[in-house]
Structure 1
Amino acid sequence: MVQNPLLEIACFNLESALIAQENGADRVELCAEIEVGGTTPNFEIVKQALEKLNIDLYVMIRPRGGNFVYSEEEFEQMQSDILALKELNVNGFVFGILKEDNSINFEQNKTLVNLAKPFPCTFHRAFDEVEDSFLALEQLIDCGFKTILTSGQAQNVTEGMNRLTELVSKANDRITIMPGGGLRSANIEVIQQNAKAIFYHSSAITDGSETASATEVQALKSKLQ
């Protein structure tokens, strides 16, 4: 029996996480600071989310907005955050580190993936900054990531659909390619028909706020058949 594709909702507050769960999401990615695309959330919010959620909770590890090249101090912060959150028993981590030339920082990413074990890790949309996406794909598989969140290296998943389709094909079940970035109920069907991914990512925010729309979560989920 073929499993229906799954839905992850990026949540910037506890209310969104609960809306995601109540309306059929399969996983929550918890972050702070929507205005910079997500950073490491407050640990108190993580604890509250863990108390209330039955679905998986992945946590963003990103010390600041801006680029994905980190100082030694920031890298140490990421390591200590992962260790602290492992103690809370989250279900997975989301991060991504690049070098100055926007290539994958293999050593630092591998260090964090190993530190996170046995919890799975997603490489986030820093992937969309790399020059050679197929080389990066192989490197991230070698690092031990389980998932890559990507818009197909475009402004949004609609523009990146052809690349998403290629990435899913080249990944060949060795790693999950998760389309995200401008993914909404209005375009998820065409993305799914082309890319044939097994996991999809959306904030489900439709009103310019920081909170997911229950109706949009339901609509996204209903179209993943």
Structure 2
Amino acid sequence: MSLKLEICVASLPSALAAQAGGAHRIELCQNLEQGGITPSYGLIRQVLAEVRLPVFVLIRPRPGGFVYSPAELAIMRADIALCRDLGCAGVVLGALDDAGHVAQADCQALLEQAGPLGVTFHRAFDACANQAQALEAIIDLGCQRVLTSGGQPAAADAQAQLAALIAQAAGRIEIMPGAGIVAANLAALVASTGAQEFHASAKRLVPPDPAAGLFAAPEWQTDAALVAELVALLA
């Protein structure tokens, strides 16, 4: 199996840059500075119209923790239905209970809404009290992959844990390392973990446009050259 790179993007220019750099898949979100939330209908539709890559949409109604109220779960199901209607390749989701375990019933309802879409369980996994137990629960749900930093701020700091999770998964689910992955540490992660898929943002800070005046602000955008560098390391 060839190694794959997923790029997390939060805008149409970033999605196009990910494609230009040779990424294999996109995770689409907004508000990336706070870990990402569900993108707008308009952004999803336009990315699908202009990008040929598989697009997985983040289903997260707000920043913060992953214990959701019934109302928030209803919003998440509605967003998943929208992604199905628009023709997305998949969704990225996760929900926990107050004890830090996978919220099995809540997640099952979300997966039922997803139907034929691919499903990635996101970094709510890194907030789980017991990752080995959580992995089995996620496998039971029927997710295709888990995005994880191995419980550390950056995947490069959890190489042994990531390798252990991949060994435990034993081909039943993909373990996709993510968080802080750059060209300088990707080769070591490939060698030490045995992972087949990797997740990065490959972003750079774009200075504010002075023409924006009072509302000028810097913006993080995916850089096609950074994406291409990562893709080359996986070749």
With normalisation by structure 1, the TM-score equals: 0.97
Aligned to 1:122: 120
Structure 2 residue corresponding to 1:20, chosen from 18, 24, 43: 18
Aligned to 1:134: 132
- Measure the CA separation in 1 of the matches of 2:220 and 2:117: 27
Amino acid paired to 1:189 = A
Shift of 1:107: 0.6
- Measure the CA separation in 2 of the matches of 1:80 and 1:31: 16
Secondary structure in structure 2 of the residue aligned to 1:177: strand
Structure 1 residue corresponding to 2:44, chosen from 43, 46, 52: 46
Shift of 1:154: 0.7
- Higher relative helix content: 2
1:66 aligns with 2:76: no
1:57 aligns with 2:45: no
Amino acid paired to 2:5 = L
Aligned to 2:147: 149
Amino acid paired to 1:215 = A
- Larger of the two Rg values belongs to structure: 2
Aligned to 2:213: none
Structure 2 residue corresponding to 1:32, chosen from 30, 33, 42: 30
Shift of 1:35: 1.9
Q: Deviations over 1:90-114 (max 9, x none)?
A: 0000011011121110111111112
Structure 2 residue corresponding to 1:224, chosen from 198, 213, 234: 234
Shift of 1:210: 1.8
Secondary structure in structure 2 of the residue aligned to 1:90: coil
Aligned to 1:214: 224
Aligned residues of 2:107 and 2:141 also touching (Cα < 8 A): yes
Aligned to 1:87: 85
Q: Deviations over 1:125-168 (max 9, x none)?
A: 11001111011000000011111000011110111111001111
Aligned residues of 2:8 and 2:28 also touching (Cα < 8 A): yes
Secondary structure in structure 2 of the residue aligned to 1:122: strand
Structure 1 residue corresponding to 2:189, chosen from 181, 184, 191: 191
- Measure the CA separation in 1 of the matches of 2:123 and 2:83: 21
Q: Structure 2: 5+ residue runs without aligned partners?
A: 207-218
Shift of 1:14: 0.7
Amino acid paired to 2:169 = A
Q: Percent identity between the aligned chains?
A: 36
- Measure the CA separation in 2 of the matches of 1:63 and 1:131: 22
Amino acid paired to 2:232 = S
Aligned residues of 2:204 and 2:220 also touching (Cα < 8 A): no
Aligned to 1:108: 106
Q: Structure 1: 5+ residue runs without aligned partners?
A: none
Aligned residues of 1:205 and 1:213 also touching (Cα < 8 A): yes
Structure 2 residue corresponding to 1:205, chosen from 203, 206, 219: 203
With normalisation by structure 2, the TM-score equals: 0.93
Shift of 1:55: 1.0
- Measure the CA separation in 1 of the matches of 2:163 and 2:115: 29
Amino acid paired to 2:188 = V
Aligned residues of 1:13 and 1:210 also touching (Cα < 8 A): no
Amino acid paired to 1:36 = Q
Shift of 1:207: 3.4
Amino acid paired to 2:154 = N
Moved over 4 A (4+): none
Shift of 1:36: 1.2
Shift of 1:206: 3.5
